Structure 1
Amino acid sequence: MDIYLKQAVLHVIDRSFGDPIYSQVRLDLENINTREYLTNKIKKITSAQTKTGVIREDSVIGGLIKQLNTDFENTSSDIVRKWYEVYSQSEDAPSADIFIVTFEKDAQLYMAFLKINYHQQFTHMVGDEDGKVFNDLMIHQSILSGKTQKADEAFSVNVDNLAFELIEKKYNFSGEKIDYLSSKVIDSEPIASLEDSVKTVKKVAEKVGKKYELPKFEVTNQVKDAISTTIDNDGLIDTEAVAATVFKDNHVAQTEFHDQIVEKVSATRIPVSNDIQTIAKKKYGKQKLKLSNGIEMSIPLEVYQDPNLIEFINNPDGTISVSIKNVEEVISRL
């Protein structure tokens, strides 16, 4: 994913100071450290935890995003101001820095809103007292996370069609923890993240499987297998295909699974964006198993699906044996 930064600005939200400090000058994107920091943070918006959706064009935030390319400095401040009207009402939301960035990806213009919470870190201080050099320990209250870490909260938006990707955290508002960023700032109901969708499908399958006395580990592994296959083939999670894989010829169980899925996610085909499909292949392309005797295994999906390479055997005493077959070489690694 190639990203070309165009404009960026940093606004300071130190809640101990009161009102935000809005910058009137853009960041220097010729500075390689600044460029790498922002580029890496933007790339990490796309993950298995990312929610997706489309911002309404008639919304306040949608209108502001459309203005960014013509009046970047003032509009970026207005976006943060709109966000802070909500954020400041939280009892426990921390101080942070906000980066507003415009960038190009695949010849399309995007905006990124990156919120980086402050962290405490210690460092040294060299001083002079009565002609004597001294070294002391001091604490910084407003250290930002490193470039290899993702933003604490963020969203990126295609400026043309207002399609967004979002990572958010819950904070307390009048004693209730809510996803304020989607519900009150961009005011759009997002599609659940890949991770949340998979958890929901897995939970429903395990519940139905338990009713029909199917081994939990088999249900879990078959769910993961089916999800990986449907994402790879169709670019979405097809819960009907999941039901057919997990419950095979048990049409009653498939119907129960279908009804419970519709009740929880109101759809049987859950879309997965192109960028997140790539992440899904890496995340769900292996079966990771932990056995009760302490053995842990990470098995590529194509191996897991081949009975000539691995087999799970249900023993008469209720235990399970794992048979690994046709191995030409065993490599020991420290």
Structure 2
Amino acid sequence: MDIRLKQAILHVVDRELGDPVVSQVGLDLTSVFVRDYLTKKIEKLSSEKAKTGTLVPTSTMATLVKTSEDNFTTMSQEMVAKWYEVYQTSEDAPSADVIVALFEQDEQLNVAFLKLNYHQAYTHLVNTDGQGQLANELIVHKSILAGKTQKADEGFRINVTDLSFELDEKKYTFSGDRAFYLSTKVIESEPLPSLEENVKLVTKTAKKIGKNFDVPDREIVANVKEAIQENIEEHSSLDTQQIAQKVFKDNPTAQTDFKETVVEKGYIDQGPMSNEIKEIATKKYGKQKLKLSNGIELIVPLDVYQDSNLIEFINNPDGTISVTIKNVEDVISKL
């Protein structure tokens, strides 16, 4: 992912202080650690949990984003004000810093909104006592931000040209009810389900249908993962027709039941995914994780799992299952 930062600004949202403390000056992008921190946070907005969609062209957020290049600082302040108008009504939403960034990726201009919740951490304070002696104290700092390797607690990125977005949001309590708010009340554009949500729905439905036809869960999950991986590599999206054919092979009745059930459960195709999400998904769903009843755990690449010359599951007469790993040239023990 090649990200070129153009501008960025940080606004303080300490709920104990009241309204946000908005900055009038951008962050110093000549600083290596600032660029590195922001780049890592923006990269992590792309994940299998990211919801996608397109802003309503007439929405307030779309209007703001279109002014980002010419009037970045004011745009960022108005964006935070719109967000905080909703956020402050939550009973449990925590204090945070908000970073708004303007950047280019693949020659496309984007705006990122990153919310970084505060964390408590211990640090030292150099002080003096009543006699003027140095006194090093241990104190709790309540406004620590997460490190660069951790994703933002919430955020979104919007393509300035076509208004497409990726969104990662959390539920907070509003008037006693926990609910998402970024999509419904801030960007005002209903997103499509994330890849993770669709995969969970597909897998749960496949297991349910599989039980009706006496297909073991481990076979269902392995076939679902393989179908998902093939879908992503070939089409950059999920196709329930192809998943049904892959999972239930020569059983047209099970295929039909599966396709009807996922629709009943509310499955919505998320559409083509970005290259970043494709790469993440290929790694995640390219392995089969097995936990045996005797405590043994295995992580097996799908191509190995499907090859009976390398791994075999044998149903024993007493109802137990034997797992045989074959043709291993070496075993490496790791701590």
Tell me, in whole angstroms, the C-alpha distance in 2 between the residues paired with 1:9 and 1:125: 28
Contact 1:262 1:268 in 2 (8 A): no
1:179-258 aligned within 5 A: 179-258=180-259
Deviation at residue 235 of structure 1 after TM alignment: 1.4
User: In the TM superposition, what whole-angstrom CA distance separates every residue of 1:41-63 from its partner, at most 9, and x where no partner exists?
Assistant: 00111111111111111100010
Contact 1:237–1:272 (CA under 8 A) maintained in structure 2? no
Amino acid at match of 1:78: E
- Alignment partners' CA distance in 2, 1:29 and 1:270: 35
SS in 2 for 1:61: helix
- 8 Å CA contact 1:53, 1:164 repeated in 2: yes
Could you report, residue by residue, the CA deviation over 1:131-157 in whole angstroms, capped at 9, with x for unpaired residues?
222121111111111111110001011
| 1:170 Cα deviation after fit | 0.4
Corresponding position of 1:100: 100
Q: Distance in 2 between matches of 1:313 and 1:273?
A: 40
Distance 1:225 1:309 in 2: 17
- C-alpha separation in 1, matches of 2:102 and 2:209: 47
Task: Please tell me whether the aligned partners of residues 239 and 269 of structure 1 are also in contact (alpha carbons under 8 angstroms).
Answer: no
- The superposition leaves residues 62-95 of structure 1 with CA deviations (integer Å, 9 ceiling, x where unpaired) of 1000011111111110011111111111111011
- The aligned counterpart of 1:331 is 332
| Superposed CA offset, 1:272-323 (max 9, x none) | 3322111111111111111111111111121112121111122222211112
- Corresponding letter in the other structure for 2:326: K
Gaps of 5+ in 1: none
Residues 42-121 of structure 1: pairs in structure 2 closer than 5 A: 42-121=42-121
Task: Report the residue type matching 1:281 in the other structure.
Answer: T
Offset at residue 271 of structure 1 (A): 3.6
Inter-partner Cα distance in structure 2 for 1:330 and 1:141: 47
Deviation per CA, 1:92-112: give whole Å up to 9, x if none.
Answer: 101111001000101111000
Deviations 1:215-263 (CA, angstroms, capped at 9, x unpaired): 1121112111211121112211121122112222221211111011112
For the 8 Å contact 2:248–2:255, the answer to whether it is kept is yes
1:322 — aligned with what?
323
Partner amino acid for 2:171? K
Identity value in percent: 57
Q: Distance in 1 between matches of 2:226 and 2:323?
A: 18
Could you tell me whether the CA contact under 8 Å between 1:126 and 1:136 is conserved in 2?
yes
TM-score by length of 1: 0.97
Superposed CA RMSD in Å reads 1.3
Distance across 2 between alignment mates of 1:247 and 1:20: 54
The TM-score with structure 2 as length reference comes to 0.96
Task: From the superposition, tell whether residues 91 and 269 of structure 1 become closer, same or farther in structure 2 (CA, over 3 Å).
Answer: closer
1: CA distance, partners of 2:305 / 2:327: 13
Q: Are the equivalent residues in 2 in contact too, given 1:238–1:270 (CA < 8 A)? A: no
Q: Distance in 2 between matches of 1:9 and 1:303?
A: 48
Secondary structure of the corresponding residue to residue 236 of structure 1: coil
Task: Name the counterpart of 1:290.
Answer: 291
